[in-house]
Amino acid sequence: MNIAVIQARMASRRLPGKAMLEIIGQPLIEHVIRRASRIEGVAKIFLATSKNHENIPLAEFTESLGIEVYRGDEDNVLERFYEVAKGATAQNVIRLTGDNPLLDFRAIGYILGKHQEGKYDYTCVSGLPVGAGADIFSFKALEESYCCGNGKELCDHVDLYVLENLERFKAMRCIISPGFGSCRWTVDDPDDLQLIRGFCEKASAQFPGVFDALDAAQLIALVEKLDFKLRMQPVNPNVSEKNLYTEQLAAKIFTRLEIAFDKIYPKSCIPAMDED
Protein backbone atom coordinates (compact mmCIF):
# COMPACT_ATOMS: atom_id res chain seq x y z
CA MET A 1 0.00 0.00 0.00
CA ASN A 2 1.14 3.53 -0.78
CA ILE A 3 0.40 6.25 1.74
CA ALA A 4 0.94 10.00 1.93
CA VAL A 5 2.09 11.46 5.24
CA ILE A 6 1.78 15.19 5.87
CA GLN A 7 4.13 16.60 8.48
CA ALA A 8 2.79 19.72 10.20
CA ARG A 9 2.81 21.44 13.57
CA MET A 10 1.65 24.74 14.99
CA ALA A 11 4.93 25.90 16.58
CA SER A 12 6.55 27.38 13.49
CA ARG A 13 9.14 29.99 14.48
CA ARG A 14 8.66 32.24 11.46
CA LEU A 15 4.88 31.92 11.19
CA PRO A 16 3.27 30.38 14.29
CA GLY A 17 0.06 28.43 13.68
CA LYS A 18 0.45 28.61 9.91
CA ALA A 19 -1.14 25.22 9.26
CA MET A 20 -4.48 26.66 10.42
CA LEU A 21 -4.17 30.11 8.83
CA GLU A 22 -6.82 30.66 6.19
CA ILE A 23 -6.30 30.90 2.45
CA ILE A 24 -9.48 31.65 0.48
CA GLY A 25 -11.63 30.64 3.44
CA GLN A 26 -9.94 27.32 4.22
CA PRO A 27 -7.08 26.47 6.59
CA LEU A 28 -3.79 25.96 4.79
CA ILE A 29 -3.72 22.29 5.88
CA GLU A 30 -7.06 21.68 4.16
CA HIS A 31 -5.60 22.77 0.81
CA VAL A 32 -2.72 20.33 1.33
CA ILE A 33 -5.13 17.50 2.15
CA ARG A 34 -7.43 18.25 -0.79
CA ARG A 35 -4.52 18.14 -3.21
CA ALA A 36 -2.96 15.08 -1.58
CA SER A 37 -6.25 13.22 -2.02
CA ARG A 38 -5.85 13.62 -5.78
CA ILE A 39 -2.47 11.86 -5.98
CA GLU A 40 -2.93 8.77 -8.13
CA GLY A 41 -1.85 5.56 -6.45
CA VAL A 42 -2.21 6.74 -2.85
CA ALA A 43 -4.46 4.57 -0.70
CA LYS A 44 -4.53 6.66 2.48
CA ILE A 45 -3.44 10.03 3.85
CA PHE A 46 -2.14 10.67 7.37
CA LEU A 47 -1.18 13.75 9.35
CA ALA A 48 1.95 13.35 11.47
CA THR A 49 2.15 16.00 14.16
CA SER A 50 3.42 16.19 17.73
CA LYS A 51 1.85 15.60 21.14
CA ASN A 52 2.35 19.22 22.14
CA HIS A 53 -0.79 20.97 23.39
CA GLU A 54 -0.80 23.64 20.68
CA ASN A 55 -1.36 20.96 18.01
CA ILE A 56 -4.74 19.89 19.39
CA PRO A 57 -6.75 22.26 17.10
CA LEU A 58 -4.75 21.06 14.09
CA ALA A 59 -5.31 17.40 14.97
CA GLU A 60 -9.03 17.86 15.66
CA PHE A 61 -9.64 19.78 12.44
CA THR A 62 -7.73 17.23 10.36
CA GLU A 63 -9.69 14.36 11.93
CA SER A 64 -12.92 16.20 11.09
CA LEU A 65 -11.92 15.85 7.43
CA GLY A 66 -11.64 12.08 7.81
CA ILE A 67 -7.85 12.02 7.95
CA GLU A 68 -6.10 9.80 10.51
CA VAL A 69 -3.71 11.67 12.80
CA TYR A 70 -0.57 10.36 14.47
CA ARG A 71 0.86 12.45 17.31
CA GLY A 72 4.43 11.79 18.38
CA ASP A 73 7.62 13.45 19.56
CA GLU A 74 7.85 17.17 18.73
CA ASP A 75 11.54 16.89 17.83
CA ASN A 76 11.53 13.54 16.03
CA VAL A 77 9.82 13.85 12.66
CA LEU A 78 11.52 10.71 11.38
CA GLU A 79 10.03 8.63 14.19
CA ARG A 80 6.56 9.96 13.37
CA PHE A 81 6.92 8.88 9.75
CA TYR A 82 8.27 5.48 10.69
CA GLU A 83 5.49 4.78 13.21
CA VAL A 84 2.79 5.83 10.73
CA ALA A 85 4.28 3.68 7.96
CA LYS A 86 4.71 0.68 10.26
CA GLY A 87 1.17 0.94 11.58
CA ALA A 88 -0.24 1.20 8.06
CA THR A 89 1.97 -1.64 6.73
CA ALA A 90 2.90 0.75 3.93
CA GLN A 91 5.20 -0.25 1.09
CA ASN A 92 5.91 3.33 0.00
CA VAL A 93 5.49 6.65 1.76
CA ILE A 94 5.09 10.04 0.08
CA ARG A 95 6.39 12.78 2.35
CA LEU A 96 4.37 15.98 2.19
CA THR A 97 4.60 19.09 4.34
CA GLY A 98 1.78 21.16 5.77
CA ASP A 99 3.08 24.45 4.37
CA ASN A 100 2.60 23.63 0.68
CA PRO A 101 -0.96 24.53 -0.38
CA LEU A 102 -0.12 24.28 -4.10
CA LEU A 103 1.48 20.83 -4.19
CA ASP A 104 1.20 19.17 -7.58
CA PHE A 105 -0.80 15.98 -7.27
CA ARG A 106 -0.38 15.13 -10.97
CA ALA A 107 3.43 15.16 -11.00
CA ILE A 108 3.67 13.39 -7.64
CA GLY A 109 1.38 10.61 -8.85
CA TYR A 110 3.41 10.23 -12.05
CA ILE A 111 6.66 10.04 -10.11
CA LEU A 112 5.16 7.54 -7.65
CA GLY A 113 4.49 5.28 -10.63
CA LYS A 114 8.14 5.52 -11.73
CA HIS A 115 9.27 4.86 -8.16
CA GLN A 116 7.22 1.68 -8.05
CA GLU A 117 8.24 0.49 -11.52
CA GLY A 118 11.92 0.73 -10.62
CA LYS A 119 11.46 -0.58 -7.07
CA TYR A 120 13.39 2.37 -5.68
CA ASP A 121 14.05 3.05 -2.01
CA TYR A 122 14.05 6.81 -2.43
CA THR A 123 12.86 9.13 -5.18
CA CYS A 124 13.00 12.92 -5.28
CA VAL A 125 12.08 15.48 -7.92
CA SER A 126 13.56 18.73 -9.20
CA GLY A 127 12.16 21.22 -11.67
CA LEU A 128 8.81 21.80 -9.98
CA PRO A 129 8.15 25.06 -8.14
CA VAL A 130 9.43 25.00 -4.55
CA GLY A 131 6.53 23.61 -2.52
CA ALA A 132 4.89 21.72 -5.39
CA GLY A 133 6.85 18.47 -5.17
CA ALA A 134 7.49 15.65 -2.72
CA ASP A 135 9.87 12.81 -2.05
CA ILE A 136 9.06 9.13 -1.79
CA PHE A 137 10.50 6.45 0.50
CA SER A 138 10.20 2.70 0.58
CA PHE A 139 9.39 1.33 4.01
CA LYS A 140 12.83 -0.25 4.03
CA ALA A 141 14.47 3.17 3.64
CA LEU A 142 12.37 4.68 6.44
CA GLU A 143 13.01 1.74 8.74
CA GLU A 144 16.77 1.81 8.24
CA SER A 145 16.81 5.59 8.65
CA TYR A 146 14.94 5.27 11.93
CA CYS A 147 16.95 2.33 13.29
CA CYS A 148 20.44 3.41 12.16
CA GLY A 149 20.28 7.19 12.12
CA ASN A 150 21.59 9.03 15.14
CA GLY A 151 21.47 12.64 16.19
CA LYS A 152 18.90 15.44 16.25
CA GLU A 153 19.51 16.53 12.65
CA LEU A 154 18.55 13.10 11.36
CA CYS A 155 15.41 13.15 13.51
CA ASP A 156 14.36 16.53 12.11
CA HIS A 157 14.98 15.72 8.44
CA VAL A 158 13.36 12.53 7.16
CA ASP A 159 15.51 12.29 4.04
CA LEU A 160 18.91 13.14 5.54
CA TYR A 161 20.05 9.61 6.47
CA VAL A 162 19.27 8.31 2.98
CA LEU A 163 20.99 11.22 1.27
CA GLU A 164 24.10 10.88 3.41
CA ASN A 165 24.22 7.13 2.79
CA LEU A 166 23.20 6.83 -0.86
CA GLU A 167 25.40 3.78 -1.38
CA ARG A 168 23.00 1.81 0.86
CA PHE A 169 19.88 2.59 -1.15
CA LYS A 170 18.48 2.45 -4.66
CA ALA A 171 17.74 6.12 -5.25
CA MET A 172 16.45 8.11 -8.21
CA ARG A 173 16.14 11.80 -8.98
CA CYS A 174 13.43 12.86 -11.44
CA ILE A 175 14.25 16.03 -13.34
CA ILE A 176 11.36 17.84 -15.01
CA SER A 177 12.36 19.88 -18.05
CA PRO A 178 11.86 22.71 -18.68
CA GLY A 179 11.90 23.34 -14.95
CA PHE A 180 10.20 25.94 -12.78
CA GLY A 181 12.27 25.44 -9.63
CA SER A 182 12.87 29.18 -9.26
CA CYS A 183 9.17 29.69 -8.45
CA ARG A 184 8.43 29.65 -4.73
CA TRP A 185 5.03 28.22 -3.76
CA THR A 186 5.64 27.35 -0.12
CA VAL A 187 4.53 29.23 3.00
CA ASP A 188 7.43 29.74 5.37
CA ASP A 189 6.94 33.30 6.62
CA PRO A 190 4.37 36.15 6.51
CA ASP A 191 5.63 37.38 3.14
CA ASP A 192 5.08 33.93 1.61
CA LEU A 193 1.58 33.81 3.07
CA GLN A 194 0.73 37.21 1.62
CA LEU A 195 1.94 36.17 -1.83
CA ILE A 196 0.11 32.86 -1.84
CA ARG A 197 -3.09 34.40 -0.48
CA GLY A 198 -3.05 37.10 -3.14
CA PHE A 199 -2.54 34.62 -5.93
CA CYS A 200 -5.11 32.11 -4.63
CA GLU A 201 -7.76 34.78 -4.07
CA LYS A 202 -7.37 36.13 -7.57
CA ALA A 203 -7.20 32.69 -9.20
CA SER A 204 -10.08 31.14 -7.26
CA ALA A 205 -12.28 34.11 -8.14
CA GLN A 206 -11.76 33.17 -11.79
CA PHE A 207 -12.32 29.44 -11.19
CA PRO A 208 -14.53 29.02 -8.10
CA GLY A 209 -14.92 25.49 -6.80
CA VAL A 210 -12.13 23.97 -8.89
CA PHE A 211 -9.00 25.75 -7.68
CA ASP A 212 -7.64 22.78 -5.70
CA ALA A 213 -8.02 20.63 -8.81
CA LEU A 214 -5.58 22.71 -10.89
CA ASP A 215 -2.20 21.05 -11.49
CA ALA A 216 1.19 22.76 -11.73
CA ALA A 217 0.92 23.42 -15.47
CA GLN A 218 -2.42 25.11 -14.99
CA LEU A 219 -1.16 27.09 -12.01
CA ILE A 220 1.93 28.23 -13.92
CA ALA A 221 -0.33 29.41 -16.74
CA LEU A 222 -2.42 31.31 -14.20
CA VAL A 223 0.66 32.89 -12.63
CA GLU A 224 1.52 34.28 -16.05
CA LYS A 225 -2.00 35.32 -17.03
CA LEU A 226 -2.66 37.00 -13.70
CA ASP A 227 0.67 38.85 -13.81
CA PHE A 228 1.96 37.19 -10.64
CA LYS A 229 5.15 35.79 -12.14
CA LEU A 230 7.70 38.19 -10.67
CA ARG A 231 5.99 38.33 -7.29
CA MET A 232 5.95 34.53 -7.11
CA GLN A 233 9.73 34.49 -7.69
CA PRO A 234 11.33 36.51 -4.86
CA VAL A 235 14.88 37.68 -5.45
CA ASN A 236 16.03 36.27 -2.08
CA PRO A 237 13.93 33.18 -1.34
CA ASN A 238 13.94 32.05 2.28
CA VAL A 239 15.88 28.76 2.12
CA SER A 240 17.54 27.30 5.20
CA GLU A 241 21.14 26.08 5.18
CA LYS A 242 19.94 22.55 5.95
CA ASN A 243 17.59 22.54 2.96
CA LEU A 244 20.40 23.77 0.74
CA TYR A 245 22.57 20.98 2.10
CA THR A 246 19.99 18.29 1.31
CA GLU A 247 19.50 19.76 -2.17
CA GLN A 248 23.25 19.44 -2.76
CA LEU A 249 23.18 15.82 -1.61
CA ALA A 250 20.17 15.05 -3.82
CA ALA A 251 22.04 16.46 -6.81
CA LYS A 252 24.61 13.69 -6.32
CA ILE A 253 22.09 10.89 -6.91
CA PHE A 254 23.51 8.87 -9.78
CA THR A 255 20.26 7.55 -11.31
CA ARG A 256 18.44 10.41 -12.99
CA LEU A 257 15.26 10.34 -15.04
CA GLU A 258 14.68 13.29 -17.37
CA ILE A 259 10.97 13.90 -17.81
CA ALA A 260 9.62 16.30 -20.42
CA PHE A 261 7.13 18.76 -18.92
CA ASP A 262 4.45 17.88 -21.46
CA LYS A 263 4.87 14.18 -20.68
CA ILE A 264 3.27 14.78 -17.28
CA TYR A 265 0.86 17.48 -18.42
CA PRO A 266 -0.10 16.54 -22.00
CA LYS A 267 -3.67 17.83 -21.65
CA SER A 268 -3.29 20.50 -18.99
CA CYS A 269 -5.00 23.72 -19.89
CA ILE A 270 -7.09 26.35 -18.16
CA PRO A 271 -10.51 27.53 -19.34
CA ALA A 272 -10.85 30.94 -20.93
CA MET A 273 -10.75 33.58 -18.24
CA ASP A 274 -13.37 36.24 -17.72
CA GLU A 275 -12.00 39.45 -19.23
CA ASP A 276 -14.26 41.70 -17.13
Whether 273 is in a domain gets the answer: no
**Interatomic CA distance for residues 30 and 19, integer angstroms:** 9
Buried b (16+ CB within 10 A) or exposed e, 106-137: bbbbbbbebbbeeebbbbbbbbbbbbbbbbbb
**Position 258 in a domain:** yes
Structural domain boundaries, residue 91? 2-264
CATH of the domain at 43: 3.90.550.10
Please tell me the distance from the alpha carbon of residue 121 to that of residue 139, in angstroms, as a whole number: 8
Q: pLDDT value at position 152?
A: 66
Confidence of residue 14 (pLDDT cuts 50, 70, 90): confident
17, β-bridge pairs: none
The answer to whether residue 80 sits within a structural domain is yes
**What's the confidence (pLDDT) of residue 276?**
46
Number of separate domains in the chain: 1
Segment 215-250, tens digit of pLDDT? 999 998 888 888 776 556 665 566 667 778 888 999
Residue 272: pLDDT over 60: no
Q: Examine residue 174 and state whether it is found in any structural domain, yes or no.
A: yes
Reported pTM: 0.94
Per-residue pLDDT of 67-122, as tens digits, reads 999 999 998 999 999 999 999 999 999 999 999 999 999 999 999 999 999 999 99
Q: Per the domain annotation, does 82 fall within a domain?
A: yes
- Rounded to whole angstroms, the Cα distance separating 88 from 222 reads 38
Q: What's the pLDDT tens digit per position in 125-169?
A: 999 999 999 999 999 999 999 999 877 667 778 999 999 999 999
In a domain, 270, yes or no: no
Angle between helices 28-36 and 56-64 (to 10 degrees): 40
Q: Is residue 206 part of a domain?
A: yes
| pLDDT value for 274 | 53
- Choose among 79, 265, 72: nearest CA to 158: 79
Do 177 and 258 form a contact (C-beta atoms < 8 A)?
Answer: yes
39 in any annotated domain = yes
How confident is residue 206, by pLDDT bands cut at 50, 70 and 90? confident
Query: Of 243, 206, 203, which is closest to residue 219 (Cα–Cα)?
Result: 203
